[in-house]
Amino acid sequence: MPVQGQVVREFGAAGEGGAARGLTIQAGAGARVVSPCGGRAVFAAPFRSFGQLLIVDCGEGYHFVLAGLDRLDAAPGQRLLGGEPVGQLGAGSGRPALYLELRRNGRPVDPRGFLGGG
């Protein structure tokens, strides 16, 4: 997993806006986030209401989307190693959460299979 924490919403779980297209992982304030795969950062910037957002091209049509970061330590075009630190969750009040989505050829798939968790 790219952050140590507890999955509070599973892929496919019903909720506001329909079925979840990724995992929501609640973690401690200031938790470090690492790249879930080796690849290249194709997007790294604030995005709408998602906070700092990172998209990592893992190759073979796979892209990981990581949203909700407070700080990004990766830049577009940067080569990343799996497990390399790429950012940090917020240190403010409440429990910060990382949204993690895996896409294969543009379609959401369960990230647990890729991460070895299911």
Domain parsing of the chain, residue ranges:
5-115
Per-residue DSSP letter, 38: S
Q: Residue 60: CB partners within 8 Å, gap ≥ 6?
A: none
Cβ–Cβ under 8 Å, residues 98 and 66: yes
Cβ–Cβ under 8 Å, residues 102 and 62: yes
Q: Name residue, tokens 């910060």.
A: 96
In CATH, what class is 5-115? mainly beta
pLDDT of 16-74, one tens digit each? 889 999 999 999 999 999 999 999 999 999 998 888 999 999 999 999 999 999 999 99
pTM for this prediction? 0.93
Count Cβ atoms below 10 Å from residue 81 Cβ, excluding itself.
11
